[in-house]
Amino acid sequence: MASYSARDVHEDRAPVGMGSRTDRWWIEPVLVILTLVSFSAYAMWRAFEGNYYDSLQALERGAREVPLLLSPFYSPPFHEWFPGFKERFAISPALFVLVFPLSFRATCYYCRRSYYRAFFWDPPACGLPEPGMAKRKRYTGESAWPFVLQNLHRYALYFILIVVAFHYKHLYDACFVMGDAGRHFGIGLGTMIMGLDAVLLSLYVFSCHSWRHLIGGGLNLLSSAPIRLRLWRIVSALNARHGLYFWLSLITVGLADLYVRLVASGIIADPRII
């Protein structure tokens, strides 16, 4: 069996040459590009729109009763803490909020793997060499600017834990409706969507590699801390599906925002279940 050294790979002599793989390896990078570009374009449009993020707006448009829904793009609710946020800070509150999930997702180990492959072809897929690799003078990986910033992922995790807590607060609020009779209990499709968003975001965050390290790291003997060992096993099981939770939570957060926008703008009424 032939063996290949690191030098072979560096000099573009990888075992499988570009284009010689006969399977459809390009499907994954194409899907990654389409999904990330579409989501980013939608998120930017919504952030700059700065409107229709609170379902109570539907009351001003003639609705008799609405569920209490807040778009996840506007949570934590800086616009409530600083009334007149847009005028005071001259930016949409969503742009302030999106810094946290954006830095968390952009530095996510799984996400890095996906966009390094799809956008930088670094490499485009397993068993394929990186184009132009032979001309590279030196490889600095994530130890030089700007990719050294990827190492801040664990700090982005601390902020996203606060964001997760707010998603549950908004899920609680979504269990109530506001109308002619004041605020009272009521569950609708919006509550379900907000619940799905909170659960999938939690699965994504609590399957994070940095979270796993926080739970089980820093010990010479993990079995000496039985509770941490048990938690670490749970997080490790979640971690095996981290990539899946990344995509599902990304799609659901966009869906939750879209749903709130449709209700807040009066395009649809939230169907009540209870």
Shortest distance, position 47 Cβ to ligand FES, whole Å: 21
- Of the ranges 60-68, 126-134, 203-211, 225-233, which one interacts with ligand FES (CB under 6 A)? 203-211
Binding residues for ligand FES, rule CB under 6 A, total 8
Q: Is the peptide bond before 146 cis (omega within 30 degrees of 0)?
A: yes
Provide the β-strand partners of residue 272: 188
Name which of residues 241 to 270 contact ligand FES (CB under 6 A): 242
The DSSP secondary structure of the chain, one letter per residue, reads: -----HHHHHTT--SS-TT---S-TTHHHHHHHHHHHHHHHHHHHHHHH--S-BTTHHHHTT-SEEE--B-GGG-S-HHHHSTTHHHHHSS-HHHHHHHHHHHHHHT-HHHHHHHHHHHH-SSSSTT-PPTTGGG-S---TTSSTTGGGGGGHHHHHHHHHHHHHHHHHHHHHTTEEEETTEEEE--BHHHHHHHHHHHHHHHHHTT-HHHHHHHH-S-S-GGGSHHHHHHHHHHHHHHTTHHHHHHHHHHHHHHHHHHHHHHHTTSS-PPB--
Mark residues 136-175: x for contact with ligand FES by CB under 6 A, - for none.
Answer: -----------------x----------------------
User: Which residue in 169, 209, 213, 272 binds ligand FES (CB under 6 A)?
Assistant: 209
The residue (of 161 and 268) whose beta carbon lies closer to ligand FES is 161
How many residues does this entry show for the chain?
274
Q: In whole angstroms, how close is the CB of 236 to ligand FES at the nearest point?
A: 13
Nearer to ligand FES, 150 or 265 (CB): 150
- Could you say whether residue 200 binds ligand FES (CB under 6 A)? no
Among 55, 75, 114, 210, binds ligand FES (CB under 6 A): 210
In the block, which residue shows the tokens 């060992």?
229
CB of 62 to ligand FES, least distance (A): 42
Q: Which of residues 31-60 bind ligand FES (CB under 6 A)?
A: none
Does the footprint of ligand FES cover residue 208 (CB under 6 A)?
yes
Binders in 108-127 for ligand FES, by CB under 6 A: 108-110
C-alpha torsion sign, points 143, 242, 32, 126:
positive
Asked whether position 21 contacts ligand FES by CB under 6 A, the answer is no
Single out the segment in contact with ligand FES by CB under 6 A; choices: 28-36, 93-101, 104-112, 213-221: 104-112
Q: 52 or 110, CB closer to ligand FES?
A: 110
| Shortest Cβ 216–ligand FES spacing (Å) | 14
Residues in contact with ligand FES by the rule CB under 6 A: 108-110, 153, 208-210, 242
